[in-house]
Amino acid sequence: MIKRVYFDHNATTPPHENVVKGLGESLENWGNPSSIHWAGRKAKGELREARKSVARFLGVDPLELIFTSGGSEANNLAIQGALGFQRLLGRDEIVVSSVEHPSLLKTAEMMTQFGYRVHKIPVNREGELDLEFLLNRLSERTALVSVMWANNETGHVFPVQQVSEMAHNVGSLMHCDFVQGLGKTTLSLSSLNLDMASLSGHKFYALKGVGALYVKKGTNLSSHIFGGSQERGRRAGTENLLAIASLGRVCELQSSLALEIKKVEELRDYLEDRVFNAVSDVRVTGQKNLRIGNTSHLSFEGVDGESLLMNLDLKGIALSSGAACSSGSREPSPILLAMGFAPWEAQQTLRVSLGWSNTKDEVDYFVEELVKTVSRLRLIRATRTVLDGQV
């Protein structure tokens, strides 16, 4: 029997037991929340309670939340929905970090077709934003600044509060992709002083197919999906009640959040110590900087990351060599290239992202198989190098 170990929680998380237990109850509320009869009212009630639960967890008002199909839609809605109003004020420039999720970067780049200008904030090899670049690009023409709370590949946490203050000083809106922050920090969204923030349920032990956009009261936002009046007219379409309810149930676990965050961070530190003691020529990207506690981005000199990933998968260990949305691509990670990694360096990396159910025994098994796999791959590489030299 192959042991199964899941170390890819930044890609998606398994549904929490509270979610699984509540599926039957939610399935009974099969009515359309927009209907006024008894079936619709039951569904509407569950939708309302889920919204309240998520809002309490985030420290915001329930009416400041727009449920979406996920983080990508929330990012699209934030950019497309806010910029039209900003243009009326003579603001037509967007500032984003160069390591944002593709759903945000590609949406921002799409807006250049409509006359908007995009500035991308450089990020160094240790994951630090060039705040001087940001300061020099901010002006009365800045419509929106968007910087993620934490990077999905490397785990770096960005100074969102500081960036938000800089953006607001020139009258710009501030948006944050908070997808990797949900469930990995006890900070409330209100404490970050944001105008908008994107969320995704399946990164936080809820079902796939649900996300949310936090929109601070007073922020003008137009819908980019037209139809009915759901979500107070800001996102048309019948709500995915089953998925929304699952997110509400996970958010009811707020009392145990700090303990889970601490436990996972200690396990991540244990993993890195074990790897350093067992494997030579390995480094952690941005190890001395602030990172989310579950993520370790490792570089192995002389080892192809995809080969390492596939060999460990054969041993039942699920990991990633980058963002899940780019899985299968033979190209180096755009995130790492933007950070200044050479293409060959970017292809020597592995992302480990832990979750609430992971254990030390799983880490020990991972390190045991990692040592054997890295040694074998390096030996193969060395042998090929010798043979090539003899030809």
Residues 24-43 have pLDDT tens digits of 999 999 999 999 999 999 99
State the Cα angle at 192 between 144 and 220, rounded to 5°: 40
| Mean pLDDT on 109-132 | 96
Which of 20, 325, 342, 379 is catalytic? The answer is: 325
What pLDDT shows up at residue 382? 84
| Mean pLDDT on 207-228 | 96
What pLDDT shows up at residue 324? 45
Name the nearest CA neighbour of 234 among 272, 263, 196, 268: 196
Report the predicted TM-score, pTM, of the whole model to 2 decimal places: 0.94
Specify which residues 173 forms β-bridges with. 144
**Strands of the sheet with 65-68, listed across from one edge:** 65-68, 211-215, 196-200, 173-177, 142-146, 93-97, 117-121
Band of pLDDT at residue 381, cut at 50, 70 and 90 = confident
b (16+ CB within 10 A) / e for 137-164:
bbeebbbbbbbbbbbbbbbbbbebbebb
Task: Please indicate whether residue 251 is annotated as part of the active site.
Answer: no
| Mean pLDDT on 252-270 | 96
Residues 268-278 have pLDDT tens digits of 999 999 999 99
Cα end-to-end span (Å), the chain: 43
